[in-house]
């Protein structure tokens, strides 16, 4: 049995891609997208027709409006290939605007509904800012399920649990990147691999906190740099994995055993909810989480704006 098949025994495998062919190849349960992945996809001749169709179907609409239709078009096609859910991200420029995030999420869900896609098959993806988490709280109360992304620390995870979000995507690779860059020449790759990887440790801490307190929010580890990180987190509820690493796992026969225990020291008393002040104080004290959250939002904004420029070029 290859390593990917073994991993599926412990965690739900999700594909982190906008490439339909790769989805068909690896048959994941769910799929996730983001502005960067959609931008990469539409630059390929294989997926350019989706961009052209979205532009043609909405003459005179703003680039932002056409982009929303394009994201949903990708989601609809993805749902033809996966049995579960697709995550669709709202405009990252709204990461600090709760009301606008809610309105955008409602529009996206309405577009899916118009195409006959039930709410249960869509996760609205928002950045794990305080404002994004509060938007998710209200969306969940409306029956719109959410995926909180760009999550780098326990404080963000606790706030998401307080908001009863459906799923969180704590990042592994970007945490690893930050610590490796910060350490510079003193970084010891072998010593910091596997369970010692700072990204692996962060996700493990979040997973254990959730399970100890009986928190129902799903934990989907994301942003992997190598298969060692994936194997070290076997047992996490879900893992969203790039096609390149899925291919590596499919070719490997490395043993994969559950590393994260499902039940570990269960504590029935829920932890106290974080206040907004406590949330911001925790982020301010965590240079890695603060830096990577801001950097991630900035990168998604840049890719969103590049996507809108492509839309405008095709609208001319």
Classify burial at 190, counting beta carbons within 10 Å of its beta carbon; exposed 0-12, middle 13-18, buried 19 or more.
exposed
d(CA 311, CA 278): 41
Identify the residue whose tokens are 């459906």.
166
Residue 183 neighbours by CB distance under 10 Å: 12
Q: Are 241 and 252 in contact (CB under 8 A)?
A: no
User: Quick check: is 80 catalytic?
Assistant: no
The tokens for 265 are 């020291």
Q: Name residues whose C-beta falls within 8 Å of residue 44's C-beta, 6 or more positions apart in sequence.
A: none
HEC states along 141-171? HCCCCEEEEEECCHHHHHHHHHCCCCEEEEE
DSSP secondary structure code for residue 119 in this structure: G
84: nearest Cα among 29, 125, 23 = 29
Sequence-distant contacts of 268-276: CB under 8 A, at least 24 apart: 268/214, 269/213, 270/213, 270/214, 270/215, 271/158, 271/209, 271/213, 273/162, 274/155, 274/158, 274/159, 274/162, 276/130
271: nearest Cα among 219, 198, 206 = 206
179: nearest Cα among 153, 147, 205 = 153
Cα three-residue angle 58-36-221, rounded to 5 degrees: 125
d(CA 159, CA 123): 18
Residue in 125, 180, 211, 292 annotated catalytic:
125
Catalytic machinery residues: 125
């Amino acid at each position: 049995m290859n390593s990917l098949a073994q991993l599926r025994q412990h965690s739900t495998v999700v594909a982190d891609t906008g490439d339909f062919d790769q989805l068909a190849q690896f048959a994941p349960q769910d799929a996730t997208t983001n502005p960067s992945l959609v931008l990469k996809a539409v630059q390929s001749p294989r997926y350019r027709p989706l961009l052209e169709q979205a532009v043609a179907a909405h003459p005179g609409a703003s680039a932002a409006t056409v982009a929303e239709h394009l994201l949903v078009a990708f989601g609809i096609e993805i749902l033809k290939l996966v049995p579960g859910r697709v995550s669709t991200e709202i405009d990252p420029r709204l990461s600090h605007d709760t009301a606008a995030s809610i309105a955008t999420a409602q529009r996206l869900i309405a577009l899916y509904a118009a195409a006959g896609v039930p709410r249960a098959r869509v996760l609205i993806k928002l950045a794990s800012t305080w404002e994004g988490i509060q938007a998710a709280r209200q969306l969940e109360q409306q029956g719109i399920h959410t995926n909180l992304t760009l999550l780098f620390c326990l404080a963000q995870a606790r706030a998401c649990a307080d908001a009863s979000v459906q799923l969180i995507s704590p990042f592994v690779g970007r945490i690893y990147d930050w610590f490796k860059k910060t350490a510079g020449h003193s970084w010891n790759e072998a010593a910091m691999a596997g369970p010692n990887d700072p990204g692996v440790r962060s996700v493990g801490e979040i997973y254990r906190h959730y399970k100890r307190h009986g928190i129902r929010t799903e934990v989907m580890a994301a942003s992997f740099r190598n298969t060692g990180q994936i194997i070290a987190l076997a047992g996490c509820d879900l893992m969203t994995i790039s096609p390149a690493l899925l291919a590596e796992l499919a070719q490997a026969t490395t043993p994969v055993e559950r590393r994260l225990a499902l039940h570990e020291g269960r504590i029935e008393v829920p932890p106290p909810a974080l206040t907004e002040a406590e949330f911001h104080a925790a982020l301010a004290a965590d240079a890695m989480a603060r830096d990577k959250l801001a950097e991630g939002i900035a990168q998604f904004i840049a890719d969103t704006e590049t996507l809108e420029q492509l839309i405008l070029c095709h609208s001319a």
